[in-house]
Structure 1
Amino acid sequence: MNDQPYGIPEKHWPAKLTYWWFRAARKLRLKALKKQQITDIRIEQIEHLKSALDAGQGVMIAPNHSFHWDSYCLLSVADRLQTPFYVMTAWQVFSQSSWFECESMQRCGCFSVDRENTDIQSMKTAMDILQNRKEPLVVFPEGDIYHTNDRLTAIRDGAAAIALMAARKSQRPVVIVPVAIKRWYDDDPTPSLTRLADTIEQRLFWKPQSNLPLVDRILNIANGLLSLKEIERLGHARQGPLPERIGFLADSILSFAESKYQIPTTKPLIPERIKEVRKKIIQQQVDAGNQASLQQRIEWNTDMQDMFLATQLYSYPGDYLQENPSWERQAETLDKLQEDVLGASYPSSHGRKTVSIRFCEPIAMPIGKEKKASSDGITAELQQRIQSMLDAMNLNHQTNHRVSAQRVQDRV
């Protein structure tokens, strides 16, 4: 995963949506996708989105967020509809970009959000879009990129909460359109993945384990890295299944921080627990201002790094590769290791890929004085719908792949 700065954003970056700029930027988006060897983008069931927009509804698009450049793939839908999308974007993306990149993102409909704190300005912008604008709003409810395209990570309730608040004072219906984005390799990426595994093993001062199947090599790397972190944090390497060990280490890191900062453990999800610790650290930094001692600053930085480690651990389910060692899952796991071990900002491209984008029937928000729905309930429904689409897309892909393979065999 990519480490990012956390704290109080230096500013808010508002959307400056400009139609001609969005159209002109299409060439840059296509160039970036071509560089990533994404050769085909298939759009399915777009009528669910189009009918909501044609009806004048306030539309939130809620897709999964499992690989870099999936937002560019999604914007190909905007190109087809000839309607730009507003996109809620983490402020760190703006903070780490050049002036021109920020200006271009803003003119293409992006605006910043501080995910660690209550961002009133971002909330107002999102609600205004849903209540008044003809363009839809894109919110990635997973928050981070976890590189697990087949398995939706537990989504946060912020997207549902925004849609509910907008609907309560809206003069028009507000809906959430669930979206599943799935990427497949067209060519066997094993040669490229093998070279990457060689590089990671050498970084660990291992000889390349070329005598082993690639899946075993990936699992050995993961087990070795986890053992190193266990020794660092616990004093010894633990035994047992990877999911249990990963969960134990993440929980021990968070429990220590929660005790140190006197934070009650009330949030069940690890990302929410991480968010609470970060909020506490940021608040202490703000309160201390320039009066903080060097030792305090070192401690805060160390604790923030611990939260990043907990996020990294959470991004590895532990059983994802063993469950189905497909080309895609092997590539995703090595992509994460390339970022976490080699420090790559973006993983390598390992071959030609096809991306499918599928839209689901909208989830309607209650309006005005109608019986209130809970953000938890809508979040659960959103999670279920996106995961169901991903499962169906995978099943359809596997069926088509078997049929194609049989046809080739019949010709032979």
Structure 2
Amino acid sequence: MTVILDRPYEFVPPYHGNLWPTMIQKLRLIDRHLARRENVIDCEIRHADRFAESIAAGHSVLLTPNHCRYADPIVLGWLGREVNTHLFAMASWHLFNTTSFEAFALRRMGAFSIFREGNDRQAIEAAINILISGERPLMLFPEGTTNRTNDLLKPLLEGVTFIARTAAKKRAKLNGGRVVVHPVGLKYLCIGDACAWADEQLRQLERALSWQPSPKSLAPNDLLPRLLRVSEAYLALKEIEHVGKASAGDLRPRRDALIEHLLTQCESRYDLSVPSTDGVRDRVRRIRSAVSTTYFALPASEQTPEPYARDAEAADLAQFLLSFPDEYLLPGQITDTRIVETIQRIQEAIYGKAKETMPMKVVIEVDEAIDVPAERAPRGETDPLLCQLDERLRTMLVGLSNEARPFESNTPANLLSTSNPS
């Protein structure tokens, strides 16, 4: 659950010292963490010279990577090491509420908090001030949240370019300095036999569902129908849990109906209006904000977290169900990494955590710098800077997606989501 009900939000500021991040890099602690916790054991960095040139020119640098795995923020530490710099990064508040050690380590590595359930002016001001000073490069994920769809980009958030433009205006006025954005493409590639891995993981999922495991098979035409069956079983279980019974028919309308049920129930409880232009992600964000605001407005003696936690989890589930794109597993487009990502999303759903047992290599590709204008974005239209950033990231991801190994099959597998998630 991403909404924290244990205590009210308290801003975690950036740590400005260099001792801790230098020690972390020299001792290769991020390498050990990525290998042990995420099974990311190798990396290839491309065009780091572009990033280095911006630093050498005295520009304030904003890195904007795509966000497809929980390893992403730590992986960017390899890029920082390559150009001999430390990074600041904005991170969701809930990440600072796991263990005291992880909260300590996150901050020492340059992370500071953002309250996604509200308007966090402190986090925005901290990000702007970092770019004004140019003390270190700043990393922001313009998609906001993550899911395991490495080859697709979610809609970008306007807050990223608001921060960049505001900082560019103030930095130009302060000392004539510039702010530049470097889009960064991250692509994870499987090391080893993805078919053997997929067969074993599917057998474990089948056992978790109390099924007799399928006969061992490494053929794509056998693995894909099994993946589809497990996906359908998970959806049916959630329909029974939240609606009372499993429905029949194709998965896409069933999935959409369940999302609508989850969101409508929560919006009704908090008397939330839904603008016609809002997609699922906007509605989820509004529900999370209402859960947090309503709960902490209660006197301490009346705070019973269980019903609010259920609403927060329902909103999280709605967003989670939206993260299985149809086009990921269409004939001719299936790769080994797409199979691994889909299975890991189902593992997160059933076990609460993906099994990071498939060794991965990450490619980190830095794009050319984009100059950030000091003027405000035009009123009444999408920020051209945001459009440029979106186009650059999508172009990189298309190219990087072709580097994964094809997963040959003539069997279509149509999973839980629409082809155009909101």
Q: TM-score, normalised by structure 2?
A: 0.85
CA pair 220-43 structure 1, distance change in 2 beyond 3 A: same
CA pair 238-370 structure 1, distance change in 2 beyond 3 A: closer
- Is 1:197–2:205 an aligned residue pair? no
Compute the displacement of 1:368 (Å): 4.7
Compute the displacement of 1:81 (Å): 0.8
What is the CA–CA distance in structure 1 between the aligned matches of 2:403 and 2:358, rounded to whole Å? 23
- Is 1:311–2:310 an aligned residue pair? no
Tell me the matched-pair count: 392
Q: What do residues 32-75 of structure 1 show as CA deviations (whole Å, max 9, x unaligned)?
A: 23334434311112233223222222221111111132222211
- Is 1:340–2:362 an aligned residue pair? no
Whichever residue aligns with residue 117 of structure 2, its letter is E
Aligned to 1:226: 235
Deviates more, 1:379-388 or 1:183-192: 379-388
Q: Confirm or deny: 8 A CA contact 2:66 2:143 kept in the other structure.
A: yes
- Is 1:259–2:268 an aligned residue pair? yes
Alignment equivalent of 2:279, drawn from 269, 276, 294: 269
1:15 partner SS: coil
What is the CA–CA distance in structure 2 between the aligned matches of 1:369 and 1:4, rounded to whole Å? 32
Alignment equivalent of 1:75, drawn from 67, 74, 77: 77
Alignment of 1:140-289 (within 5 A): 140-171=141-172, 172-210=177-215, 213-266=222-275, 268-289=278-299
1:354 partner SS: strand
Whichever residue aligns with residue 273 of structure 1, its letter is R
1:59 partner SS: strand
Whichever residue aligns with residue 209 of structure 1, its letter is S
Compute the displacement of 1:201 (Å): 1.1
Deviates more, 1:201-210 or 1:186-195: 186-195
What is the CA–CA distance in structure 2 between the aligned matches of 1:392 and 1:252, rounded to whole Å? 38
What is the CA–CA distance in structure 2 between the aligned matches of 1:375 and 1:174, rounded to whole Å? 20
What is the CA–CA distance in structure 2 between the aligned matches of 1:292 and 1:66, rounded to whole Å? 39
Instruction: Determine which structure has the larger helix proportion and give its number.
Output: 1
Q: What do residues 182-225 of structure 1 show as CA deviations (whole Å, max 9, x unaligned)?
A: 01113112223222211111111111123671121111100111
CA pair 235-376 structure 1, distance change in 2 beyond 3 A: farther
Aligned to 1:118: 119
Whichever residue aligns with residue 88 of structure 1, its letter is M
Whichever residue aligns with residue 54 of structure 2, its letter is A
- Is 1:103–2:101 an aligned residue pair? no
Compute the displacement of 1:385 (Å): 1.7
CA pair 381-231 structure 1, distance change in 2 beyond 3 A: farther
Alignment equivalent of 2:367, drawn from 360, 370, 373: 360
Q: Confirm or deny: 8 A CA contact 1:243 1:319 kept in the other structure.
A: no
- Is 1:31–2:39 an aligned residue pair? no
What is the CA–CA distance in structure 1 between the aligned matches of 2:224 and 2:323, rounded to whole Å? 18
1:72 partner SS: helix
Q: Confirm or deny: 8 A CA contact 1:169 1:368 kept in the other structure.
A: no
What is the CA–CA distance in structure 1 between the aligned matches of 2:244 and 2:270, rounded to whole Å? 23
CA pair 319-252 structure 1, distance change in 2 beyond 3 A: farther
Aligned to 2:62: 60
Whichever residue aligns with residue 354 of structure 1, its letter is K
What is the CA–CA distance in structure 1 between the aligned matches of 2:403 and 2:200, rounded to whole Å? 31
Q: TM-score, normalised by structure 1?
A: 0.87
What is the CA–CA distance in structure 2 between the aligned matches of 1:373 and 1:10, rounded to whole Å? 32
Aligned to 1:350: 358
Compute the displacement of 1:371 (Å): 6.4
Whichever residue aligns with residue 166 of structure 2, its letter is M
2:148 partner SS: coil
Aligned to 2:93: 91
Compute the displacement of 1:91 (Å): 1.5
What is the CA–CA distance in structure 1 between the aligned matches of 2:118 and 2:375, rounded to whole Å? 27
What is the CA–CA distance in structure 1 between the aligned matches of 2:287 and 2:377, rounded to whole Å? 36
Q: Confirm or deny: 8 A CA contact 2:3 2:312 kept in the other structure.
A: no
2:162 partner SS: helix
Compute the displacement of 1:236 (Å): 4.3
RMSD: 2.5
Gapped runs of 5+ residues in structure 2? Answer: 407-422
Compute the displacement of 1:334 (Å): 1.2
Q: Confirm or deny: 8 A CA contact 2:377 2:383 kept in the other structure.
A: no
**What percentage of residue pairs aligned between the two structures are identical?**
27
CA pair 122-194 structure 1, distance change in 2 beyond 3 A: same
What is the CA–CA distance in structure 2 between the aligned matches of 1:219 and 1:97, rounded to whole Å? 36
Whichever residue aligns with residue 33 of structure 1, its letter is L
What is the CA–CA distance in structure 1 between the aligned matches of 2:311 and 2:251, rounded to whole Å? 24
Aligned to 2:411: none
CA pair 371-237 structure 1, distance change in 2 beyond 3 A: closer
